[in-house]
Structure 1
């Protein structure tokens, strides 16, 4: 999953099945209660999953003594586990690639709409300094996508995360000023999420931050990878 901003690489049902088969494959003696705790799901759902995988022949239920069973993964179960794992990896790569292209297209628009005259007026030099709103996985992909462009990350703010982001301190949004973050100048605030835009906009307005300096990641890109957005959108 990408930071709650994308979609799970596989469906939740397959996700639980994969974790269940992986846990049983270890060969350790497990119970439905311990599986429920390990998987973080209700005991009733664990029971349904066990019955499903047993019915499909992926797991064998062996009675070892009265009121005690052992779960063994079957060859068919190992094949199914490999299939789900492969699908998980394929979808993760696809999701990462799509997210990277969407972010890259948005960054291209930001750079294009930010003229050299704007840089000169702001006194920020040739590299265009930006601040990320958000320090999750989408922001990490954004940072990688930014390399080789004329954009430069000078700061990061996040509502919940603390610490550092690629050696930059993560600040609270309240530290934002119209053109600076803790004394560091920047020209655009890039919101690094595909969701929660209305809530973030309200918060920024409440902080008195100029919305015209905020850039939002566009949900979809054109066929040529560009985003035909008007300047007012940025």
Structure 2
């Protein structure tokens, strides 16, 4: 659940990482690597050049080579360290949120749980469920092409969902939308939402 500044830093890190690995990248390849439109990749590239993080050299045949400057290497290291710290913090907080939800399931006698949303949170929930002896029967996600995730069935259609006692919301892309969709299909009291999603 990235904020806008975190997303910007993530894109800069993606760009610096790609340039650090290969200097002869096309802007189209950079855009693909970053997962953004060509124009946005170009904008980030120009911004990094202005900040002195990347140097551009023109070579024959209207091609360009991109190099990280010493300042670029320093920024890449800083952003990598920040990303790793953030990832570990997310994993820890997500794990704690899942444990709280599973404790609620145990108190109600719910042992067979379905997840809603293929995501890192679904993966963490699946791991934490093993520790508690709770069975994750599968994951419902109408927006994915996957058929399996963390060795669980993935259902794209609601009528494919196996028998279970309750739901845990694990969608990180649009948790509010996923929650509203799910409440149109099942009783709200059967849907548990980890605190990390901040829907309250």
TM over 0.5: yes
- Equivalent residue for 1:231? none
Q: Is the 8 A contact 1:9 1:95 kept in 2?
A: no
TM-score (norm. length: structure 1): 0.66
Alignment partner of 1:61 is 2:46:
no
Alpha-carbon distance in 1 for matches of 2:136, 2:37: 43
- Equivalent residue for 1:144? 127
- Equivalent residue for 2:179? 197
Larger radius of gyration: 1
| Residues 148 and 68 (structure 1), Cα distance of their counterparts in 2 relative to 1, 3 Å cut | closer
1:175-194, Cα deviation, whole Å (9 max, x unpaired): 34xxxx2xxx5333333344
Q: 1:217 aligns with which of 179, 193, 197?
A: 193
Structure 2: runs of 5 or more not aligned = none
Q: How many aligned residue pairs are there?
A: 191
Structure 1: runs of 5 or more not aligned = 1-5, 120-127, 222-234
SS in 1 for 2:195: coil
SS in 1 for 2:132: coil
Alpha-carbon distance in 2 for matches of 1:41, 1:153: 34
- Equivalent residue for 1:159? 142
CA RMSD of aligned residues (A): 3.1
SS in 2 for 1:84: helix
Q: Is the 8 A contact 1:58 1:73 kept in 2?
A: yes
- Equivalent residue for 2:88? 93
1:69 CA displacement:
4.1
1:39 CA displacement:
3.2
- Equivalent residue for 2:153? 169
Alpha-carbon distance in 2 for matches of 1:143, 1:68: 47
Q: Is the 8 A contact 1:10 1:87 kept in 2?
A: no
1:184-215, Cα deviation, whole Å (9 max, x unpaired): x533333334432112111x1xxxx4x16613
TM-score (norm. length: structure 2): 0.76
Alpha-carbon distance in 1 for matches of 2:63, 2:149: 49
1:78 CA displacement:
0.8
1:163-182, Cα deviation, whole Å (9 max, x unpaired): 23444433432134xxxx2x
